[in-house]
Amino acid sequence: MIQGVIFDLDGVIVDTAKYHFLAWKRLAAELGFDFTEEHNERLKGVSRMASLEILLSVGGIQHLSDAEKQQLAEKKNRWYVAYIEEITPSEILPGFLPLLDFLKNHQVKVAVGSASKNARTILTRLQLLDRFDALVDGNRITEAKPDPQVFMLAADELDVPYHACVVVEDAESGIEAARRAGMKCIGIGSPAILGKADIVVQSLDQINFNELLNLTDSIKSMSS
């Protein structure tokens, strides 16, 4: 049986991807180019500064100094923070709270493993902060997904062996990070993008809880 579940935050527990997108799109508009949802897909799970680099490459903008890049990232973050300050528990994605209750009832430990430096703010707004046994966020890691550091640190804090952990992720980079950590993973979203996950479902409420419990023993199809 599994012993720990590590949830990504953005796009798994709450749809903050849409707020990241709005803020990045606004920055791109200010810089004079369009930034589409398709472009935004490349930013999921990617750290703030790496996201900025991708955005600048989309706009063909080169030769900015580190200080200028820092200013742009800070500007985007101010807009993003203004959005997330309005988040309420009603935005917790369907299926998450029942799954959390189920895992607690089965003595499975739960953590958040997120690249976001705003994770604590978001979890506080969602009134979820004290529901987790560990929180590893973007302030605590030096290597971004697909590096496995964030998930390994979370498992260490849960005191659960990596092979007994399951990661729940919506980003390709996060699936790769889970695999490199030696953990099973469930992808939330499109099989075309998350095909390397052990199981892919469209949304959290499609997860078969009992099959999740046994995921480290055998891989079965959870999708209906």
CA angle 145, 80, 168 (to 5 degrees): 35
How far apart are alpha carbons 171 and 144 in whole angstroms? 12
Task: Name the active-site residue from 10, 137, 170, 198.
Answer: 10
Contact between 113 and Mg ion by CB under 5 A: the answer reads no
How far apart are alpha carbons 93 and 213 in whole angstroms? 21
Contact between 44 and ligand G6P by CB under 6 A: the answer reads yes
Contact between 10 and Mg ion by CB under 5 A: the answer reads yes
| Element of type H or E holding 102 | helix 96-105
> CB under 5 to 8 A by kind: which of ligand G6P, Mg ion, none does 48 bind?
ligand G6P
Residue whose C-alpha is closest to residue 175's, from 162, 163, 188: 188
Per-residue interface string for the shown chain with ligand G6P, residues 87-126, x marking contact by CB under 6 A: ---------------------------xxxxx--------
Please state the closest distance from residue 17 (CB atom) to Mg ion, in A.
7
Contact between 39 and ligand G6P by CB under 6 A: the answer reads no
Query: Which residue do the tokens 């998350």 mark?
Result: 194
> CB under 5 to 8 A by kind: which of Mg ion, ligand G6P, none does 203 bind?
none
Residues 6+ apart with CB under 8 A from 130: none
Give the chain's length.
224
Structure tokens at 171: 């980003």
Catalytic annotation on 159? no
Structure tokens at 27: 């920055």
- Give the range of 45-53, 100-108, 124-132, 148-156 binding ligand G6P by CB under 6 A: 45-53
Residue 165 or 171 with smaller CB distance to ligand G6P: 171
Q: Which residues are tagged catalytic?
A: 8, 10
Binding residues for Mg ion, per CB under 5 A? 8, 10-11, 170-171
